[in-house]
Chains A and B, each alone.
Chain A
Amino acid sequence: MQWDVVWNNFDYFLWGAFPNGPIGGLAASIILAVLGIFGAFWIGLAAGLMRLSRNKLTKAVAVIYIEVIRGVPLLMLIFWFYFLAPVVLGESLPEFNCALIAFIIFTGAYIAEIVKAGVVALPKGQMEAARGSGLSHYQAMRYVILPQALRNMIPSFVNQFVSLTKDTSLAYIIGVNELTRTATQVNNRTLSSPTEIFITIAVLYFIVCYALTMTSRRMEKHLARYQARDR
């Protein structure tokens, strides 16, 4: 085992060529994941509520979005945005943006399912009581249902964030300089210790993801106490 290649390039793994160049490595992966989950939250919230709508058309749009995106590999989606953005827009998007859009659209579909499940899991009485106290359907959703449902969904969102952090590695394929790409670059340059390099990368991802997984488990236990239940 020759670990010196890893140590010599460790800062490159962590933040790429920064500050002499664009930020890369683990930092870029995390930036992608954070921006991705933020965008996906809003799309997912909208699609999840549309999915619950009584309007057939609204519901159908959401169902198609969710089923299609969940049925296709993320890699396929990334290729769609990478190869077809130039066809549709007439100019190519930066790779980082392509990957980010693909992540948002992809994760949004999974978040939509979480949102739907979270709202459905609340006892029906909550909605009825809110409506009974004179709130409109929209108000009841906004002030009574969603605050409770979203709080219960936080652990699932964290889990989705973990998945997304792992999935940012796919941005490698279209040339975004995130953690996996820095690893293959160093590997191609040195050709001496691929085992060590990829173990290091795996451990870096693991530290981030496992910390988050543990947080989500803790929160799940903590939040379970405050959950409204059917009797």
Chain B
Amino acid sequence: MNYQFNWDLVLSGKYADWIVDGVILTLKISAISIVLALILGTLVAVMRMSKAKPLEWLSFAYIEFFRNTPLLVQIFFWYFGSYSVLPDFVNTWLYDHDFEFAAGVISLTVYSSAFFAEEIRAGIYSIPKNQLEASRATGLSFMQAYWYVILPQAFRIIIPPLISQSLNLIKNSSLVMTIGVMELTYMARQIESYTFHGFEAFTVATVIYLIISLVTSFCINMYNKHFLLQIKY
């Protein structure tokens, strides 16, 4: 193995700036997608639980389709193929703005919202039915029962899986490099092809991803220890 390590290359100067830009873009695209996916996911989950059959089927099909196809294919679909699906004015708007970024956000959002929806639904289902019955019997309306009794308990349970899904989204965001969004993995790859020092660039990027996920899973564990175990049935 005759490989000359040159850590200064990636830890200072131009290439370090690239890495920092990459991290910022990774966090930015992830944050936007997480928020949008949460909103979309909640909507899909509510539809999935609704008593109107067509709504239920629609959201079932949505969840199953987007969960069972690869994210990379979805990214390519939104990037290369969306123009004949989306209305014209949306396309024009997208081309005038950062189209790669927008396609990345759309694909991450749609893909993750299917996973979010399942977690949210599972969380609400895990609250025993008699909770609703009991709170209805004490005179609360359906909405009130949901708002004051079911949801506060459900959210305690849902938060850890939602956080770990968000973490998946951050890791999945590495795939948008394929359509030219200059996030962390893209930058590492770019440094590799400019300098042939892939080892250093990939190490730095890997460590950054690791820090993000280790901190997140530490937080989830703390949360589970302090909040979740107190619930007893």
Chain A residues close to B by CB (< 8 Å):
1, 67-68, 70-76, 79-80, 83-84, 87-88, 90, 162, 166-170, 172-173, 180, 183-184, 187, 194-199, 201-202, 205-206, 209-210, 213
Contacts and interface: CB of A to CB of B under 8 A. Distances in A.
B57 to A, nearest CB: 15
A195 B82 CA distance: 7
Q: For the complex, would chain A's binding face be called helix, strand, loop or mixed by DSSP majority?
A: helix
6 contacts: A72-B210, A79-B198, A88-B1, A168-B70, A195-B83, A202-B73
Contact of B81 (A67, A71, A90, A198): A198
Contact of B68 (A68, A194, A213): A213
Contact of A87 (B64, B76, B199): B199
B199 A71 contact: no
Interface of B: 1, 3, 64-65, 67-74, 76-77, 80-85, 171-172, 174-175, 177-178, 185, 188-189, 192, 198-199, 202, 205-206, 209-210, 212-214, 217
Contacts of A73: 171-172, 174-175, 185, 209
Nearest to A68: B210
A209 B72 contact: no
Contact of A209 (B3, B69, B74): B69
A1 B84 contact: yes
Given A72-B171, A76-B202, A79-B202, 11 more contacts: A68-B210, A71-B217, A80-B202, A170-B72, A180-B73, A183-B76, A184-B76, A199-B81, A205-B68, A205-B73, A213-B67
Nearest to A165: B70
Which 3 A-B residue pairings sit nearest by Cβ, starting from the closest? A195-B81, A71-B213, A194-B80
B205 A76 contact: yes
Nearest to A195: B81
A197 B80 CA distance: 10
